[in-house]
Chain A
Amino acid sequence: MTQPSNAPFSFLYQDRGGQIFLSLLLAVTLLVPILNVAVSPESALHVPSYMVSLLGKYLCFALLALSVDLIWGFAGILSLGHGAFFALGGYAMGMHLMRQIGDRGVYGDPVLPDFMVFLNWQELPWYWYGFDSFAFAAVMVLLVPGALAFLFGWFAFRSRVTGVYLSIITQAMTYALMLAFFRNDMGFGGNNGLTDFKDILGYDIQGDGTRLALFVASALALALGYGVGRFIAASRLGRVLVGVRDAESRTRFLGYRVEYYKLFVFCVSAMLAGIAGALYVPQVGIINPSEFAPANSIEIVIWVAVGGRGTLYGAVLGAILINYGKTYFTGALPEAWLYVLGSLFILVTLFLPKGLVGSLPAFSLPRKQESPQAHAGEDKPSDTPHPPSPTSEARP
């Protein structure tokens, strides 16, 4: 199984961790709808609709974490602003859902959403055009985060902005976007954002069936995201990326146009985040600028780190566990949950430097072809202003 195979989609089941992950995901995707619909509510095994949405939300976060792992774990790009792409995807979907409300809004205006009526807007701003079509919105979900990532990456990677500098300007990006979306004059509903959605594709957004469908869609999106990620990682491109991660300058000197590789994977990652956002919005029923908050983006990185980076499913595990922890502890220990969560982050960093999955041998990738040195380098992402250690490589 560890041998490279030429069978189609072999990249999906080359490693054991991926196998376990995919089978678990499949099991959950099948079981949850069954337990929700077919099992009587009195039974201990029944999954209430409330849980379905919650699980759906976790899966969206998982996809988001996966998208971060794709660039951080494989290309060494630490984005502290990935929440921005997630939120943009969410806004694209939210705008579609807003347009679907039609004249059922509070003020009954057939065209303008309530907040625009309220702020005395006379007509729909141009950037809202087209969002009444689901197909258009779906394209925008990919296109807007992708375009922003392209623009941002184009400048940043070509100028060889790396390491912490890159991390901090991604943070500046999401912070600037947050401030911009907070402005009511922007036409995105300001602080309240977009809310009060009625239906999606003609189905009541609060219906149990819709919830299930969204849950399954999230699971499929996650599987798809995983497939894309694995495909990239297993391809030649992926190997170059690992090269970039471990020794960017050396890769460049070998003749690779490092910036294009980075740009490509950055855009893919942004689009995955956008999809996650788009699926997240109908399930939680609100999108607002706080999703752009830098703290949110930092948290995403933490999910990945806790789960273990460079594996994709590690990120998924991290996202689901931490979010489940949040759900559980904010209810069970409302006054002390930050202590629990904070200590968890510290303990994981100290004692499980490779994250949860990295600490389980069953999950480590059989990357025998890589040199041990490259492995060592994994924990030292290149461009940080830390005193160089004797083992650090890649001095030009």
Chain B
Amino acid sequence: MVSLTDLGELASAAASPVWRRVAGAPAVAEPAETLLGLGTPSSDVPMLSLRGITKRFPGVVANDGIDLDVFGGKVHAILGENGAGKSTLMKIIYGFYRPDAGSISMDGQPVVIHSPADSRRLGIGMVFQSFSLVPALTVTENVALFLPQQGAVLNRPWLERRVREVSARYGLDLNPRARVADLSMGERQKVELIKLILANARVLILDEPTSVLAPHEVDGLFSVFTELKRDGYAILFITHKMREVLASADQVTVLRRGKAAGTAEGGALTAQQLVALMLGIDAPKEVRNTARVKPRPQTAALEFNRVSTGSADDPRSLKEVSFQMMPGEILGIAGVSGNGQQELGETLLGLRSRRQGSVHLFGHDIGRWPLHRILGSGVAYIPEDALGMAVVPQMRVTENLVLGDIGRYNGGLWLDWRAIQTRLGQSLEGFPLPLARAEARADELSGGNLQRLVLARELTRGASVVVAYYPARGLDLVAAEKTRQLLMDCRSRGASVLLVSEDLDELMALSDRLMVMYQGKVAGLFYPENVTLQEVGLLMTGHHA
């Protein structure tokens, strides 16, 4: 632990370029000359180095043999889709998870990180998406709360001076006496950075730092990065936005399905190269939609007509979305998560109010229909958040199976559970996915079992419109293929399927037509055979193909 005097020296040293020597001293037993060069971009020794990091969760390998080198004085971006394993990797570095295999070293020395306290001691700091700040306290008080060690009496003048010095040096521009509650999200992020710097962090990890920021604040953050680089800090930031990587990163590591798809130097990168790295070329899916239909003129199963929701500057809210989905068609929705896909389904169900436009189901305007009437008209819904939207967590598997579709099983006033059991058995007969024990509570199920439960309920009731969010999420490869086959079966019997996915291969393989969403708008609508993965990827990230 650092004593109070050390801390004072350290913080004042932070204002001078040689501070690295001090900060590095406790963690490393190398001669000072090496340390001096440590933070410069030309250094060969990475400040933080990962080798073969592997982390398995039940049913999924979140990180699979990942190597990563982070250098002082450089911004290293971790780019990847949702579920690619970015957050898991960061949490391993920060000590939340222990890797199943692999090693971590700092400044060339192997280290063991068992807890966030370990990583903080080694000089690794993390800014989470949901900030660790107390809104009712001032900037200074928040910083003081996280200082490693201090005297009994808060030395407010000293703390405030440190906050001012660090703010001034890195262009963070904060009033130390301001209450955090009165600060914007961008300013709160600055408080987090100051906290880390004053707590002697040298590797700064930022989890999706731009997701809470307005565009001009994003530029501000990147110029702060530049200042921090100059003093030798290593910055590791997670994002799924390519524009940000191109704007700020010196190095990029792309994660895809838990693996490092590649690392590249930022300067020479183009958007096309990043797309290629992100999407990769995978083995073709076995289930493929080989007989794609062109929609015949008929009544659309589902029609959105210039639908807008929410406020116009929220990237998630729909903006004049129009499309038609025909019976017997799979309409794939491609897009980075958080670009209006969620709103699409919620608007269909009437859970989200429309500002303008109309939604039609087989020609009927369903704008004023209550939810049970919409679901009763043959809409099956597989939501993104199964535990939150599709099941009652405390209820048993059987109860949850019956709950969403009670009309099919009840025989009058009372529920005859034995009869229900029999009829459940009949309707699930031939369902290709194994289900969990009927007596298990839904909240005890693994992600894959939960997903199978929802799939079983929604796909066995003969719906004519199936809305499926990431249907294969949490499933192993075999189950995922069977699920895709189930969707194809729905299509074959004339149902139309709205398939929302981040897996472009899956979308390309199954969709009759593909719609790309970006910031709540329809960025493109076409037949999959007419576009390449790269073109779709660019549209998904706001570039024009």
Do A and B belong to a common assembly?
no
Residue numbers of B with Cβ under 8 A of A are none
Residue numbers of A with Cβ under 8 A of B are none
